[in-house]
Amino acid sequence: MSNLIPTPHIEVKSTNEIAKTVLMPGDPLRAKFIAEKFLENPVKINNVRNMFGYTGTYKGKKITVFGSGMGMASIGIYSFELFKFYDVENIIRIGSCGAYTTELKLYDVLLAKDAWSESSYAKVQSGYEGDSIEATPELNKNIMKAAKSLNIPVTQTRVHSSDVFYRENFKQFEDIRDTHGCTAVEMESFALFANAKVLGKNAACLLTVSDSLVSGEVTTSEERQNAFTKMMEVALEMA
Ligand code: HPA
């Protein structure tokens, strides 16, 4: 299914230039950082809208790192084009999240078991009526195995995928946590999982806690860059 490439948002002309497994950070500059720090022979493959993507190898295996942008609208576009038109099989989002409980500490690494959302993304995209979508269990199993081999603690949990970062009623999160069992919030995984489900592909989401809605603690962007290294190593090792 490669007759529609290049796509409107990805200027890559051949499916060969993109690996079967793609790591997706939200920030395209983080994709650059990962490529330069971890990949052998990284080649930049996308510049459209500065949504940088790189393909290289890690321990001899071909891998692509590609920015998703923020929010479900953005990751919805990039993950759909990668899955459907570039024959990508696995997308692992590597992102940040806000903690909804005091048990979660800054820099903890989480793996989304599933994503709950009030978003209309899946309903509009495919008519899906549910409000939660699972990550691919097989992918999660392999990620947990990789984390164990690296001795990095990873907690599997349900995350809240939100369309809104700044809510007028800040305390709304307590309701979402208590009613739906979400322990952390981010803004992309529900759309990623919806696309994977519809297209018969695999998706997972690794997250580092960057702030806490309960305690108000936050990390600086520099601290985040360093802390995220752990999570990237887990994703790369699994890939
Ligand atoms: N809200 C939504 N997404 C996030 C947050 C948050 O507090 N922190 C990191 N990603």
Residue 98 CA to ligand 1 center (angstroms) comes to 4
What local confidence, expressed as pLDDT, does residue 221 receive?
79
CB distance 186 to ligand 1 below 6 Å: yes
Domains recognised in the chain with CATH numbers: 15-238 (3.40.50.1580)
Per-residue pLDDT at 235: 95
Q: Which residues are catalytic?
A: 211
Quick one: which of 171, 154, 156, 180 has its CA closest to 216?
A: 171
pLDDT reported for residue 218:
93
Give residue 2's pLDDT.
47
Is the CB of residue 211 below 6 angstroms from any atom belonging to ligand 1?
Answer: yes
The residue contributing the CA closest to ligand 1 atom 10 is 97
Ligand 1 probe mutation, 107, 185, 228, most atoms within 8 A of CB: 185
Return the ∠ at Cα 108 (arms to 236 and 220), rounded to 5°. 95
pLDDT score recorded for residue 3: 67
Give the pLDDT score at 229: 87
- Measured by CA distance, the residue closest to atom 7 of ligand 1 is 98
pLDDT averaged over 10-residue windows placed end to end, the chain, 239 residues: 83 98 96 96 98 97 98 98 98 97 95 98 98 98 97 96 95 96 98 98 97 93 79 93
| Cα-to-centroid distance, 4 and ligand 1 (Å) | 34
pLDDT at 227: 73
